[in-house]
C-alpha cells in the first residue's frame, strides 16, 4: 500500500496501484534536516513594486514526486516505500510475496507498491519461490523534510491586525459581540463516536518510530501499542534500517521516548513487532476490530507522522476492499510484500506507515502501509509525492495473526500452494510458469499444487470466490489464509475450466 512502506518512497504493485506510505527522515519530534529546510511562502507584493513576481506566481515549497502512477509506501524516513498496483482502474499492490526466493513482481497497471522495483517475469510458487524484478537503485534513506509555509502565516497575522485596527477606528455602529468564557469552553465534551473522542482515546497508544542503521541512514514511521508487555506493531519497512544492529526508538505523544528492539519482522507481509525497553506499566493497547466485517463506506480514522509531523489525525472512508497491492522499499536486499488491502481515502503520506487505521468506534481495522501517488506535486524537490486519496492498509485480521507468530517464534509463517507463477502484468489470471527459480521445478513435488493435479501452463483464475487476475493478486489472496486452510482453486488448461480443492502448505521465514 506501501511503503509502505513506512518511509517516503514506494515501489509499484500488481493489478491495483497502491503505494506504501513513506515517512520523512526527520524525527517526528526533532527538527527537519537542513537539506529540506522549511520554505516560507512570502506574502504577496503589491503590483508595481520593484521585484514583484508576475501575477499568478507564488513561491511555495514542494516535493518531487516519483514516477507517474507509481504507488509509495507510507513508510519511514526520506526513502519511504511505494506499493505497486495492477492493471485496470482497480489495480493495487498485493501483499505477502511468493516463495522464499521470489523476486520483485512487475508493477501491474494501476497497482501501487511501496518500492521502485520493476515487474518481473516469473514468481516463485505461492509460498514457494518467485522471480522478482531487480529493484531500482536508491539513495540512502536520507530524511524527507516537510516544508512549512510560515511566512504566509506571519503575513496573514499582520494583515489581520491592520484590518482589525482600521475596522475599530471606523466602527460607528455601536454593535457588540459576546465571547464564550474560558471556563465553559474548557468543559466542552466530545461524545463517544466523534472523531475528536476517538482520537483522544487512541493517540496515547500510538508512537512515532525512528529507525537508524549503523551507517546513520534511517527514517520515521508510526506504530501502535499491541499489548501491555510493551509490544508495538508497525510495518517491516519502517524498522528495516535497524534490523542489523541499528538504533530504534519510539516516542509517545506526551514526549516520553523509549529505546526499542525488534522482536520479529516479515518482509512478505510487511509487518514487524518491536518491544519497548523498560516499558511503562500503564500501557493501554488499542482494541482490535474485525477487518472481515468492514464495509465500503465505513468511516476511517488514520493516525501517523506524515512527513515527520507526529500525532497527525486524518479521516475518510473505506473506499474498497481486497485491493491487491505489492510493494517494496527498492533496496537490493528487499523482497516483495503483498496484501489484499483495505483502500481508504483518509489522507496518508510518507511517515504514516505502520500507524493504525481505525473505525468509527476507535478499533484498529488495518495498518496503514502504502499510497498511490501521482507523478507530480509534493512538498519539496527530491521528495515523495503526497496523498491523492488512495491509501492502502493491511487488514488487521491478517496483521494480528502475523504479529502473534512473530512474538511467539520471531519468524513469520506463510501459506503456500507450492507452485511458481508469473508476475508479469496480466488480467487473465496467474499462470504457473514452465520452470521455477534457479532451474527448480515450477510445481513443487509432493506440494499442495502437485497433489491437486496442477501443472505448468495452468492459469489460476479464482481462489475460492475471489477473482485472480495476476500472480501478485494470487499471492495476496493466499497470504490472507493460514497454513492448513482448505481452498478451492479454479484454473484453465487447454481452454477448459477446472476446479479443485487443495490444502495450503507452509513456509517459515522470509528467505
Active site positions, annotated: 237, 270, 353
Distance CA 348, CA 314 (A): 8
CB 11 within 8 A of CB 82: yes
Taking alpha carbons only, the member of 336, 293, 364 closest to residue 479 is 336
DSSP one-letter string for 355-388: -EEE-TTS-EEEEEEEEE--SS--SBTTS-----
209 strand-pairing partners: 221, 250
Rg (CA), the chain: 24
Q: How many CA atoms lie within 13 A of 395 on its CB side?
A: 28
86 backbone dihedrals φ, ψ, rounded to 5°: -90, -165
Distance CA 471, CA 429 (A): 7
137 alpha carbon, distance to own chain's centre? 21
CB 68 within 8 A of CB 176: no
Distance CA 239, CA 125 (A): 27
319: left (phi over 0), alpha (psi -120 to 50) or beta: alpha
Distance CA 123, CA 119 (A): 10
Distance CA 274, CA 49 (A): 57
CB 296 within 8 A of CB 308: no
Distance CA 24, CA 178 (A): 44
CB 222 within 8 A of CB 286: no
Distance CA 162, CA 386 (A): 35
Distance CA 289, CA 252 (A): 22
User: What does the block give as the cell for 404?
Assistant: 502473534
CB 414 within 8 A of CB 125: no
Counted residue by residue, the chain has a size of 511
Beta strands in 283-375 (DSSP E): 299-304, 312-328, 337-344, 356-358, 364-372
- The residues, any chain, with a CB within 8 Å of residue 374's CB and separated by 6 or more, are 65, 68, 69, 385, 388
User: What does the block give as the cell for 87?
Assistant: 492493471
| Residue that is written with C-alpha cell 514487524 in the block | 272
Taking alpha carbons only, the member of 490, 483, 485, 484 closest to residue 464 is 490
Amino acid at each position: 500500500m506501501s511503503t509502505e512502506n513506512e518511509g517516503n518512497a514506494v515501489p509499484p504493485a500488481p493489478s491495483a496501484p497502491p503505494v506504501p506510505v513513506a515517512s520523512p527522515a526527520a524525527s517526528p519530534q526533532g527538527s527537519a534536516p537542513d537539506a529540506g529546510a522549511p520554505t516560507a511562502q512570502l506574502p504577496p507584493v503589491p503590483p508595481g513594486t520593484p521585484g514583484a513576481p508576475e501575477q499568478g506566481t507564488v513561491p511555495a515549497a514542494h516535493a518531487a514526486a516519483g514516477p507517474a502512477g507509481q504507488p509509495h509506501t507510507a513508510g519511514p524516513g526520506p526513502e519511504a516505500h511505494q506499493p505497486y498496483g495492477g492493471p485496470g482502474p482497480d489495480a493495487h499492490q498485493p501483499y505477502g510475496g511468493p516463495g522464499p526466493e521470489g523476486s520483485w513482481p512487475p508493477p501491474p497497471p494501476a497497482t501501487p507498491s511501496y518500492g521502485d522495483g520493476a515487474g518481473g517475469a516469473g514468481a516463485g510458487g505461492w509460498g514457494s519461490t518467485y522471480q522478482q524484478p531487480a529493484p531500482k537503485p536508491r539513495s540512502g534513506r536520507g530524511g524527507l523534510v516537510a516544508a512549512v509555509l510560515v511566512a504566509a502565516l506571519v503575513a496573514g497575522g499582520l494583515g489581520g491586525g491592520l484590518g482589525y485596527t482600521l475596522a475599530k477606528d471606523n466602527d460607528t455602529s455601536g454593535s457588540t459581540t459576546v465571547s464564550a468564557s474560558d471556563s465553559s469552553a474548557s468543559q466542552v465534551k466530545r461524545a463517544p463516536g466523534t472523531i475528536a473522542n476517538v482520537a483522544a482515546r487512541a493517540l496515547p497508544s500510538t508512537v512515532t518510530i525512528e529507525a537508524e542503521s549503523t551507517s546513520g541512514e534511517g527514517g520515521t514511521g508510526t506504530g501502535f501499542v499491541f499489548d501491555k508487555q510493551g509490544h508495538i506493531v508497525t510495518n517491516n519497512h519502517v524498522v528495516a534500517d535497524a534490523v542489523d544492529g541499528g538504533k530504534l526508538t519510539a516516542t509517545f505523544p506526551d514526549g516520553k521516548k523509549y529505546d526499542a528492539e525488534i522482536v520479529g519482522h516479515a518482509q512478505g507481509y510487511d509487518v514487524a513487532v518491536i518491544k519497548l525497553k523498560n516499558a511503562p506499566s500503564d500501557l493501554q493497547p488499542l482494541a482490535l476490530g474485525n477487518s472481515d466485517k468492514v464495509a465500503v463506506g465505513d468511516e476511517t480514522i488514520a493516525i501517523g507522522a506524515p512527513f515527520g509531523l507526529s500525532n497527525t489525525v486524518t479521516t475518510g472512508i473505506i473506499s474498497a476492499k481486497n485491493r491487491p497491492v505489492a510493494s517494496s522499499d527498492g533496496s537490493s536486499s528487499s523482497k516483495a510484500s503483498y496484501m489484499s488491502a483495505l483502500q481508504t481515502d483518509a489522507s496518508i503520506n510518507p511517515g504514516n506507515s505502520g500507524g493504525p487505521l481505525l473505525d468509527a468506534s476507535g478499533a484498529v481495522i488495518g495498518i496503514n502501509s502504502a499510497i498511490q501517488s501521482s507523478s507530480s506535486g509534493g512538498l519539496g524537490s527530491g521528495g515523495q509525492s503526497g496523498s491523492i486519496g488512495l491509501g492502502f492498509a493491511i487488514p488487521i485480521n491478517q496483521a494480528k495473526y502475523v504479529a502473534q507468530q512473530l512474538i511467539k517464534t520471531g519468524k513469520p509463517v506463510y501459506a503456500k500452494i507450492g507452485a511458481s507463477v508469473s508476475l508479469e502484468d496480466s488480467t487473465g489470471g496467474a499462470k504457473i510458469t514452465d520452470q521455477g527459480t534457479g532451474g527448480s521445478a515450477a510445481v513443487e513435488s509432493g506440494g499442495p499444487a502437485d497433489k491437486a493435479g496442477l501443472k505448468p501452463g495452468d492459469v489460476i483464475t479464482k481462489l475460492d470466490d475471489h477473482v485472480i487476475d495476476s500472480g501478485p493478486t494470487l499471492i495476496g489472496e493466499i497470504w490472507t489464509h493460514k497454513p492448513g486452510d482448505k481452498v478451492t482453486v479454479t484454473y484453465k488448461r487447454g481452454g477448459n475450466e477446472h476446479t479443485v480443492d487443495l490444502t495450503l502448505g507452509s513456509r517459515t521465514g522470509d528467505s
